Amino acid sequence: MDSFSSNPIGVYDSGVGGLSVLAAIRSLLPHEDLIYVADSGHMPYGQKSPEYVKERALKITDYFLNQNAKAVAIPCNTATAAAIKALRERYPQTPFIGIEPAIKPAARMTKSGVIGVLATTGTLLSQTFNELVKREAPNTKVLLKPCPGWVDLVESGKLSGPEVEEIVSEPLADLLKNDADVLVLGCTHFPFLLGAIRNFVGGELPVLETGLPFARQLHFQLDKRDLLNQGTAKGYFKMLTSGDPVWVQALTGDLLKSAVAVQKLPAAVC
């Protein structure tokens, strides 16, 4: 178990959105080695069928397991909703950590009884998400707002400016008009747009994201299986993409404010 616990963790997102949870993972699990796959050649997932997303998740998981990953973390709401059940069934010995929008804390915080969820169409239409809402917010009015173009903004490196403000404002205006007093970011790309979101809604309205709860759950799942890396060295971070590695490398550097080398995934995985 000791040698296996030093194996890497596979981290997987449709693109660079999962990088928004990286700081939380690094803070709680500084000694873990991470292999991050940005499936940028197939994004945006929110416009793909659940079956398509599931097949991509299975293929990338096969890659992780071939790299001897001890666990797979999926900080992608659309992929979690479409694929995590199938992944757990196919690989019952592998821990899979998915991500969910922060519906439960939002339902506890609201004073108006109305919360707004900003997410991709794929997430909002999924059975997994709808079961989450029924379970965690049965007495709360939950307004669902797809956000066309938001993922594309982040993947193109546009995080501020007039175009961003215009695209971001429409879904937000509709939620505020309908009395939502807590907003939930249901996509890991969206925290990168928090500046533009705050410019529209102001600084007081709660806007919930899920990076820290996700990292805590990852830590918990590893700990209970005795899979935490017991080393003392800082873990490495390796990043690959099914898209253009030159573009993804430049974008990642901008988002993380540090240089990261990005490699192309093997052709069989792309």
CA pair distance 117, 182, nearest whole angstrom = 9
CB count, 10 Å around CB of 138?
A: 9
Tokens of 187: 């996509």
Distance of CA 40 to the CA centre of its chain: 13
**207 torsion bin: left (phi>0), alpha (psi -120 to 50), beta (else):** beta
CB neighbours of residue 228 within 10 Å = 16
Catalytic residue among 43, 76, 84, 269: 76
CA 269 to chain centre: 20
Q: What are phi and psi of 115, to 5 degrees?
A: -120, 155
Tell me whether residue 76 is one of the annotated catalytic residues.
yes
Q: Which residues of 30-54 are buried (b: 16+ CB within 10 A; e: fewer)?
A: eebbbbbbbbbbbbbbbebebeebb
d(CA 235, CA 241): 20
Joined tokens for residue 43: 């994004």
Two structure tokens written together for 51: 């079956």
Which residue has tokens 């997430």? Answer: 123
Catalytic residue list contains 270: no
Instruction: Select which of 53, 151, 184, 187 is catalytic.
Output: 187
Backbone φ/ψ region at 206: left (φ over 0), alpha (ψ -120 to 50), beta? beta
Active site amino acids: 76, 187
